[in-house]
Structure 1
């Protein structure tokens, strides 16, 4: 685990770069985490991040691809366009949640 500063906020990250304490998350932290992934957040990205936050609050786990499609109404193709090369892993990381169990 490492402690780092992202956009002026001190956060704890695990060895894969996922936050270990979601209470440290903020929209500014999300912007910094996204930049580390080469992503500039847009309203479409925030729609995904907000859905993950809401769904995690209800279910206690990061939603998988199928749930993002069916419940979140976000098509797979759009997820890959927004978060290339592993959309659920990257979106969860930027949203400040742990790596999804379904992602290796």
Structure 2
């Protein structure tokens, strides 16, 4: 299984770079993952989405889709695309250290 190193810690990831063990994720890792995704600085709004993604994953076993994110996270779909331009659900899941949400390509 591939690994990636964030914040000096090797973590198991899948072939697309998504964490396979979300329990290994830490907030300092998120900053590095975001930079790799082209997001220089995580704002409070980014953190709202990231924490929401982690909570949803813990409760449901998968991250929410963009549609669900836009309806339930407190961040509109339009803003989600501004925060995570390369695909909100997929990019936010990767930064949040959870597996890729079902339905993401």
Normalization by structure 2: what TM-score?
0.91
> Aligned-pair distance for 1:68?
1.0
Partner of 2:95: 94
Helix, strand or coil for the counterpart of 2:86?
coil
Equivalents in 1 of 2:14, 2:59: separation in Å?
24
Helix, strand or coil for the counterpart of 1:49?
helix
Equivalents in 1 of 2:68, 2:49: separation in Å?
12
> Aligned-pair distance for 1:20?
1.1
- Segments of 5+ residues of structure 2 without an aligned counterpart are none
Partner of 2:3: 3
Partner of 1:42: 43
> Aligned-pair distance for 1:4?
2.7
Equivalents in 1 of 2:14, 2:58: separation in Å?
21
1:73 counterpart = 2:74: yes
Tell me how large the CA RMSD over aligned residues is.
1.2
Find runs of 4+ consecutive structure 1 residues off by over 6 angstroms: none
Equivalents in 1 of 2:64, 2:43: separation in Å?
20
- Segments of 5+ residues of structure 1 without an aligned counterpart are none
> Aligned-pair distance for 1:7?
1.7
Normalization by structure 1: what TM-score?
0.92
Would you say how many aligned residue pairs link Structure 1 and Structure 2? 104
Give the conservation status (yes or no) of the 8 Å contact 2:19–2:97: yes
1:54-86 deviation line (CA, Å, top 9, x unaligned): 122222210112211222121011100110121
Give the conservation status (yes or no) of the 8 Å contact 1:10–1:24: no
